[in-house]
A and B are shown apart, each in its own frame.
Chain A
């Protein structure tokens, strides 16, 4: 895997000062003239200093009082005092922003790791993915060369209003928490608007997801990644005109002009094909095609920022887990693998992962604000595939799951919590690790529990 001219040419943009572009795409830097600081500028500088001070104070106080890691509150305080703080904190950094429905946190971990091959990198590794979370993360390492920031799909527009990241990754879009974030079309439109405000960013986007293609199609600088798309149900019709998309698995082309772009990076069953045609094995500690795709996004991002490909590849091969996702750990005295599945597309991926073993399976579904209160989506998932498995269900919506499994003719046991599930007589005879698939808040709680052990 080597850099192509196209990818190498614009790596170091946004490195202080204003950058402009000639029609050729070449970039240079305008050094602002040094002059006496105006009163307004002094005030601005003082205000930024105060905001950072107060933000750090809030973070430390919150940590001392044991109110969690304190990250977001510090970011919130600092942002309230200086609304332009985010733009200032990234002014001397090269920033990669990661968004999409699934895989954001894992990909952000991978991106940060690959960037560390070339310098110090900061990231919102705990998944606080709105502006206050970004400010909080950036405050912890103000001198970092790079930042990898996961951003909530609907908050990307707020972010590009403030600055144009060097690289923007668009992973995928599918139905998720429909009672909370609105429908896919409006998410796609919002991302499209966000991209219109960032014409100088390099966009790296999923060529196999028609919703992502629509969001990125009009942007002047897109690198396309193709790794297949397991969940098709949100992409059967054109995101722009509603026409039925024939051959959504292949070279689809809509009457309105939207079409599948030619991919620059392709992910296959064993690895990736880089833009120069070279094939690279991707045997990763993280399982499945989905993580080969995530890794390829990370490598495309680091390539765009001129990180040496070989070093980046080694880094991405070393990622073992991302905020607990895919982690083998111990819960209630039993070895388990923690898997996050929060919507039909990610359940599909996780059921793929557990299909090749016969381990006991614990499914956990909550329906808090962050999960979405409507769990009708359970019926979009082919739980029929679990026939013959030992399944335990728990979480706030254990009964909805149990009814779903009843209709799928998959016998299950309803338990009061994961502790009880893991001690159930039906699985204590097995010495295999258990697979625990949990949705968002359920996963977060389990991850916190396992950290305390």
Chain B
């Protein structure tokens, strides 16, 4: 919707990618969190909403966010993102991408939908998804393998079971919950493309992950922000909850 000209180099542009297709679970929240954490540090931030009616994906953004959606919507998102291949070029030049739930499957190499059909993903992360026997639903806790992040907390709700291939590494090891449903791990990371099943939204519950993504986008470590007591309490409360 917002197609601001790229005149101001200091504005960090956060692309909310096809939220009309992938945006079922409060996924917009990840964009709000990133933009606000930048503003609190004195950066200018802009959320660029790219609907599936757009010609193609603008390549000038600094962060791309993909949320969750239903099977049909996932396939539509893949065909939109294949057009022009802008996301591939952005990733090749080191731009940060976060895919949550359906976004994980779209960014992966291949996914099989509930009807048994196979679909090619965008192949930006080496991760493949097949339907499981039942939905994994509930609080999910992991210990992240990325430096400086620690425990990740979120809510998972997915049928897919995902396998991380040789060209990716997991985002975290499962402490409680299902995660990828294979090898006791959750999510997948290749370079600066991060995929996860964590909702919450994930960046609202896990400020360390938000700041890692932001530091990639800004190209420098960021100043710390004061802790909010309610966020610390929320993280403590949610990592205690099981199921």
Chain A residues in contact with chain B, CB under 8 A?
175, 178-179, 183-185, 233, 236-237, 242, 244, 246, 373-380, 399-400, 402-404, 406-407, 409, 414
> Which residue in A185, A379, A399, A400 is a CB contact (below 8 Å) of B72?
A185
Contact in complex: A407, B204 (CB < 8 Å): yes
Beyond A244-B52, A399-B234, 7 additional contacts (C-beta under 8 Å) are: A178-B24, A236-B20, A236-B51, A242-B75, A378-B29, A379-B32, A406-B231
Q: Hey, which chain B residues are within 8 Å of A376, CB to CB?
A: 25-27, 29, 155, 199-201
In the complex, whether B33 has a CB less than 8 A from a CB of chain A is yes
Q: Hey, which chain B residues are within 8 Å of A407, CB to CB?
A: 29, 32-33, 36, 204
> Which residue in B26, B33, B72 is a CB contact (below 8 Å) of A380?
B26
A185 CA / B24 CA spacing, docked (Å): 12
Chain B residues in contact with chain A, CB under 8 A?
19-21, 23-29, 32-33, 36, 51-53, 70, 72-73, 75-76, 137-139, 155, 157, 199-201, 204-205, 228, 230-231, 233-234, 237
A414 CA / B232 CA spacing, docked (Å): 14
> Could you list 17 examples of A-B contacts with CB < 8 Å?
A179-B155, A184-B70, A185-B70, A242-B72, A242-B75, A244-B51, A373-B138, A376-B25, A376-B199, A379-B29, A379-B204, A399-B234, A402-B230, A403-B230, A407-B32, A407-B33, A407-B36
Known A-B contacts A376-B200, A379-B28, A407-B204; the reply to A244 vs B234 at CB < 8 A is no
A406 CA / B232 CA spacing, docked (Å): 13
> Which residue in A178, A236, A399, A403 is a CB contact (below 8 Å) of B25?
A178
Question: Which of A183, A185, A404, A407 counts the most B-chain CB atoms under 10 A from its CB?
Answer: A407
A175 CA / B157 CA spacing, docked (Å): 14
Contact in complex: B155, A374 (CB < 8 Å): yes
Q: Hey, which chain B residues are within 8 Å of A375, CB to CB?
A: 155
CB distance from B86 to the nearest CB of A (A): 18
Contact in complex: B138, A244 (CB < 8 Å): no
A244 CA / B75 CA spacing, docked (Å): 14
A97 CA / B73 CA spacing, docked (Å): 31
A185 CA / B70 CA spacing, docked (Å): 8
Known A-B contacts A373-B138, A379-B29; the reply to A183 vs B70 at CB < 8 A is yes
Q: CB-nearest residue of chain A relative to B154? A: A376
Contact in complex: B204, A399 (CB < 8 Å): no
CB distance from B179 to the nearest CB of A (A): 16
Give the 7 A-B CB pairs with smallest separation, nearest first: A379-B29, A376-B26, A379-B26, A236-B20, A402-B230, A399-B234, A244-B53
Question: Which of A179, A375, A379 counts the most B-chain CB atoms under 10 A from its CB?
Answer: A379
A414 CA / B233 CA spacing, docked (Å): 11
Contact in complex: B73, A242 (CB < 8 Å): yes
A207 CA / B137 CA spacing, docked (Å): 34
Contact in complex: B76, A237 (CB < 8 Å): yes
Contact in complex: A400, B52 (CB < 8 Å): no
* Secondary structure type dominating chain B contacts: mixed
Contact in complex: B200, A414 (CB < 8 Å): no
A400 CA / B155 CA spacing, docked (Å): 12
A237 CA / B23 CA spacing, docked (Å): 12
Known A-B contacts A374-B199, A379-B201; the reply to A403 vs B155 at CB < 8 A is no
A246 CA / B51 CA spacing, docked (Å): 11
Count the A-B residue pairs with Cβ separation under 8 angstroms: how many? Answer: 89
Question: Which of A237, A375, A377, A406 counts the most B-chain CB atoms under 10 A from its CB?
Answer: A237
Contact in complex: B230, A414 (CB < 8 Å): yes
> Which residue in A179, A184, A406 is a CB contact (below 8 Å) of B157?
A179
Q: Hey, which chain B residues are within 8 Å of A406, CB to CB?
A: 228, 230-231
CB distance from B219 to the nearest CB of A (A): 24
CB distance from B55 to the nearest CB of A (A): 12
Q: Hey, which chain B residues are within 8 Å of A236, CB to CB?
A: 20, 51
A237 CA / B73 CA spacing, docked (Å): 9
Q: Hey, which chain A residues are within 8 Å of B20, CB to CB?
A: 233, 236-237, 244
A237 CA / B21 CA spacing, docked (Å): 8
Q: Hey, which chain A residues are within 8 Å of B24, CB to CB?
A: 175, 178, 183
A183 CA / B204 CA spacing, docked (Å): 23
A236 CA / B234 CA spacing, docked (Å): 33
A354 CA / B107 CA spacing, docked (Å): 41
> Which residue in A184, A185, A374, A403 is a CB contact (below 8 Å) of B228?
A403
Contact in complex: B137, A373 (CB < 8 Å): yes
Contact in complex: A179, B33 (CB < 8 Å): no
Q: CB-nearest residue of chain A relative to B37? A: A407
CB distance from A26 to the nearest CB of B (A): 41
Contact in complex: A399, B230 (CB < 8 Å): yes
Question: Which of B20, B52, B76, B233 counts the most A-chain CB atoms under 10 A from its CB?
Answer: B20
Contact in complex: B52, A403 (CB < 8 Å): no
Q: Hey, which chain B residues are within 8 Å of A374, CB to CB?
A: 25, 155, 157, 199
A237 CA / B205 CA spacing, docked (Å): 30
Q: CB-nearest residue of chain A relative to B33? A: A407
A185 CA / B74 CA spacing, docked (Å): 13
Q: Hey, which chain B residues are within 8 Å of A178, CB to CB?
A: 24-25, 157
A193 CA / B230 CA spacing, docked (Å): 45
Q: Hey, which chain B residues are within 8 Å of A185, CB to CB?
A: 70, 72
A56 CA / B36 CA spacing, docked (Å): 58
CB distance from B42 to the nearest CB of A (A): 15
Contact in complex: B53, A246 (CB < 8 Å): yes
A246 CA / B52 CA spacing, docked (Å): 11
Q: Hey, which chain A residues are within 8 Å of B138, CB to CB?
A: 373
> Which residue in A179, A237, A403, A409 is a CB contact (below 8 Å) of B234?
A403
A406 CA / B228 CA spacing, docked (Å): 8
Q: CB-nearest residue of chain A relative to B135? A: A179
Known A-B contacts A179-B137, A379-B29; the reply to A399 vs B237 at CB < 8 A is yes
A236 CA / B75 CA spacing, docked (Å): 16
Q: CB-nearest residue of chain A relative to B30? A: A379
